[in-house]
């Protein structure tokens, strides 16, 4: 199915008249009829019910029209944004990110975007999730990268990553040799918790997890000058974190995933934002998610089959 067929289908579906549709498309009616017939053959279903008096959409046609409009709109927007980017020699995109999003794959997305679009300058700012949402809404930021879910009618968002939630342990901890653990396995440990004023959303998320445990572990709230990996490495406790934190952990610690616990990372923006580079960046981030999803699926399947991953 190509874009040309979809665009022709949209015209016919809206006009419900092959003669008028052919005139709009600048072609004669027979080729248009053959094009629609080809589309129906390709999809193995009827899209129109045709009699000598009228043309109307089938149920499948109604569904295709809705989806085709979205596809055509997205293509039109992408073409417009790419032209806008191509015409300008410089431009700025202001991006806010949370600490957890940074520890995920955010740096890789940024690095690769700058390689592909060197004319776009990225102004990067680390903030809390709540601060980023506020700054995006008032136009001080174009895009936000945060963990968790965003519920705001002014905000549009897409999930671009999903990080495995786990625990950072001292390498001599009894659980450090496990491939994965359950949260309840930490009942006899001391869990290191960020001060709420430092990272409010992460503090609250970890606190909720601890509250849900049938037997609650001890809590150590770290001070302003303290660092979680160092506290773990010196035996002060264990720290709930995401897989990406392994990049900043010391060789005295080990990250172990918690079974079936994942933290979504989302890219979001205000729908009214007219920065021509915004859609380019969002499309790129979504493209990277598709690549990552395929790689994750490959790794999972390789693990299940007990073979070396080829991805």
Structure confidence at residue 309 (pLDDT): 46
Q: How far apart are CA 202 and CA 240, in angstroms?
A: 10
Residue 149 has pLDDT above 60, yes or no: yes
**pLDDT score recorded for residue 75:** 80
Superfamily of domain 164-261: Periplasmic binding protein-like II (3.40.190.10)
115-148 residue pLDDT tens: 988 888 999 999 888 889 999 999 999 999 988 7
Using alpha carbons only, give the angle 259, 260, 261 rounded to the nearest 5 degrees.
95
Q: Does position 44 have pLDDT exceeding 90, yes or no?
A: yes
- Which stretch of 72-76, 187-191, 219-223 has the lowest confidence by average pLDDT? 72-76
User: Model-level pTM greater than 0.75?
Assistant: no
Cα gap 37→46, rounded to integer Å: 9
Angle of helix 59-87 versus helix 3-15 axis, rounded to 10: 120
Q: In the numeric block, which tokens belong to residue 213?
A: 């445990």
What are the residue boundaries of the structural domains of the chain, listed by start? 3-86, 91-161+265-304, 164-261
Place of tokens 């060197």: 118
Residue predicted with more confidence, 28 or 306: 28
Question: Rounded mean pLDDT of the chain?
Answer: 83
Q: What's the pLDDT at 31?
A: 93
Q: Residues 233, 250: contact at Cβ < 8 Å?
A: yes
Query: With 0-12 CB in 10 A as exposed, 13-18 as middle and 19+ as buried, what is 220?
Result: middle
Mean pLDDT to the nearest integer, 159-171: 86
pLDDT of res. 290:
46
91-161+265-304: CATH architecture: 3-Layer(aba) Sandwich (3.40)
Evaluate whether 91-161+265-304 and 164-261 have a shared fold.
yes
Domain 3-86, CATH number (from 3.40.50.2000, 3.40.50.300, 2.40.160.40, 1.10.10.10): 1.10.10.10
Q: Comparing 59-68, 86-95, 252-261, which segment has the lowest mean pLDDT?
A: 86-95
> Looking at residue 247, what is its pLDDT?
58
At 196-221, the pLDDT tens digits run 766 777 778 888 888 888 888 999 98
């Amino acid at each position: 199915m190509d874009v040309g067929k979809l665009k022709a289908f949209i015209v016919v579906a809206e006009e419900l008249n092959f003669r008028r549709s052919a005139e709009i498309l600048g072609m004669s009616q027979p080729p248009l009829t053959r094009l629609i017939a080809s589309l129906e053959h390709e999809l193995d279903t009827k899209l129109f019910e045709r009699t000598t008096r009228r043309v109307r959409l089938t149920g499948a046609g109604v569904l295709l029209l809705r989806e085709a409009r979205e596809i055509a709109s997205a293509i039109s927007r992408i073409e417009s944004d790419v032209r806008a980017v191509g015409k300008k020699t410089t431009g700025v995109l202001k991006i806010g990110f949370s600490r957890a999003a940074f520890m995920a794959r955010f740096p890789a997305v940024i690095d690769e975007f700058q390689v592909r679009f060197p004319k776009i300058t990225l102004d990067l700012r680390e903030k809390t999730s709540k601060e980023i949402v506020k700054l995006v809404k008032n136009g001080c930021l174009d895009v936000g990268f945060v963990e968790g879910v965003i519920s705001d009618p002014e905000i549009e968002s897409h999930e671009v990553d999903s990080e495995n939630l786990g625990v950072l342990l001292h390498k001599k901890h009894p659980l450090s040799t496990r491939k994965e653990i359950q949260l309840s396995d930490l009942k006899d440990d001391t869990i290191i918790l960020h001060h709420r004023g430092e990272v409010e959303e992460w503090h609250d998320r970890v606190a909720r997890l601890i509250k849900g445990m049938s037997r609650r572990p001890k809590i150590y709230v770290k001070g302003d000058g303290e660092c979680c990996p160092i506290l773990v490495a010196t035996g002060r406790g264990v720290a709930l974190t995401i897989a990406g934190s392994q990049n900043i952990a010391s060789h005295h610690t080990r990250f172990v995933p918690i079974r079936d616990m994942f933290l979504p990372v989302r890219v979001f923006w205000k729908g009214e934002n007219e920065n021509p580079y915004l859609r380019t960046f969002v499309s790129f981030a979504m493209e990277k998610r598709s690549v990552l999803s395929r790689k994750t699926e490959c790794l999972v399947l390789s693990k299940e089959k007990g073979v070396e991953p080829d991805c």
